Amino acid sequence: MLKADVAVIGAGAAGLSLAHRLSGEVPGALTPSVVLVDAPPGPLRPGPRTWCFWESGRGRFDAAVRSQWHRLRVRPPSGPAVDADITPLRYKMIRSDDFESLVSRDLRDSPNVRRLEAAVDAVEEVPAGAHVLMTAAGGRSRTLAARWVFDSRPLGSLPAARTTLLQHFHGWFVRTARPAFDPGTAELMDFRTPQPASGLSFGYILPTGPHEALVEYTEFSPHVLTADGYETALRHYTADVLHLGDVEILATETGVIPMTDAPVPRRVGSSVFRIGAAGGATRPSTGYTFAGLQRQTRAVAAALRQGRRPVPPAAHSVRARTMDAVLLRALATGRVDGPDLFCRLFTRVPAPRLLRFLDGRTNLFEDLAVGRHAPAGPMLRSAAELPGLPRRAT
Ligand X SMILES: Cc1cc2nc3c(=O)[nH]c(=O)nc-3n(C[C@H](O)[C@H](O)[C@H](O)COP(=O)(O)OP(=O)(O)OC[C@H]3O[C@@H](n4cnc5c(N)ncnc54)[C@H](O)[C@@H]3O)c2cc1C
Q: Does 99 bind ligand X (CB under 6 A)?
A: no
- Closest distance between ligand X and the C-beta of residue 313, in Å? 15
Q: Does 82 bind ligand X (CB under 6 A)?
A: no
Strands 2-9 and 141-151: parallel
Q: Does 8 bind ligand X (CB under 6 A)?
A: no
Residue 167 or 382: the one with the smaller Cβ distance to ligand X is 167
Here's the x/- map for ligand X, 143-182, by CB under 6 A: it reads as: ---------xxx----------------------------
- Closest distance between ligand X and the C-beta of residue 272, in Å? 14
Q: Provide CB contacts within 8 A for 177, sequence distance 6+.
A: 211, 245, 246, 247
Q: Does 44 bind ligand X (CB under 6 A)?
A: yes
Residue 150 or 237: the one with the smaller Cβ distance to ligand X is 150
Binders in 264-293 for ligand X, by CB under 6 A? 276-278, 288-290, 293
Q: Determine the interface stretch with ligand X among 22-30, 31-39, 80-88, 105-113 (rule: CB under 6 A).
A: 31-39
Residue whose Cβ sits closest to ligand X: 12
H-state helical runs in the chain:
13-22, 96-108, 227-236, 290-305, 318-332, 338-348, 351-358, 364-371, 376-385
- Closest distance between ligand X and the C-beta of residue 8, in Å? 10
- Which listed residue (7, 8, 9, 113) binds ligand X by CB under 6 A? 9
- β-strand partners of 68: 92
Q: Does 95 bind ligand X (CB under 6 A)?
A: no
Query: Omega into 88 within 30° of 0, i.e. cis?
Result: yes
Q: Determine the interface stretch with ligand X among 6-14, 73-81, 235-243, 326-334 (rule: CB under 6 A).
A: 6-14
- Closest distance between ligand X and the C-beta of residue 50, in Å? 6
Residue 234 · residue 172 · CB < 8 Å: yes
Strands 272-274 and 164-176: unpaired
CA 74 to chain centre: 20
- Which listed residue (35, 37, 113, 379) binds ligand X by CB under 6 A? 37
What secondary structure letter does DSSP report for 341?
H
What secondary structure letter does DSSP report for 264?
-
Residue 276 or 378: the one with the smaller Cβ distance to ligand X is 276
- Which listed residue (22, 23, 51, 69) binds ligand X by CB under 6 A? 51
Residue 133 or 389: the one with the smaller Cβ distance to ligand X is 133
- Which listed residue (32, 207, 255, 360) binds ligand X by CB under 6 A? 255
Residue 254 or 322: the one with the smaller Cβ distance to ligand X is 254
Q: Provide CB contacts within 8 A for 43, sequence distance 6+.
A: none
Residue 46 or 209: the one with the smaller Cβ distance to ligand X is 46
Residue 336 or 358: the one with the smaller Cβ distance to ligand X is 358
Q: Which of 137, 141, 103 is nearest to 121 (CA)?
A: 141
- β-strand partners of 268: none
What secondary structure letter does DSSP report for 62?
G
CA distances 147 to 68, 99, 270, 309, Å, are: 39, 27, 10, 11
- Closest distance between ligand X and the C-beta of residue 70, in Å? 17
- Closest distance between ligand X and the C-beta of residue 41, in Å? 9
Count residues near ligand X (CB under 6 A).
33
Q: Does 64 bind ligand X (CB under 6 A)?
A: no
The CA distance from 370 to 348, in Å, is: 9
Q: Does 314 bind ligand X (CB under 6 A)?
A: no
Q: What angle do CA 310, 314, 316 make, to 5 degrees?
A: 150
The CA distance from 152 to 150, in Å, is: 7
Q: Does 360 bind ligand X (CB under 6 A)?
A: no
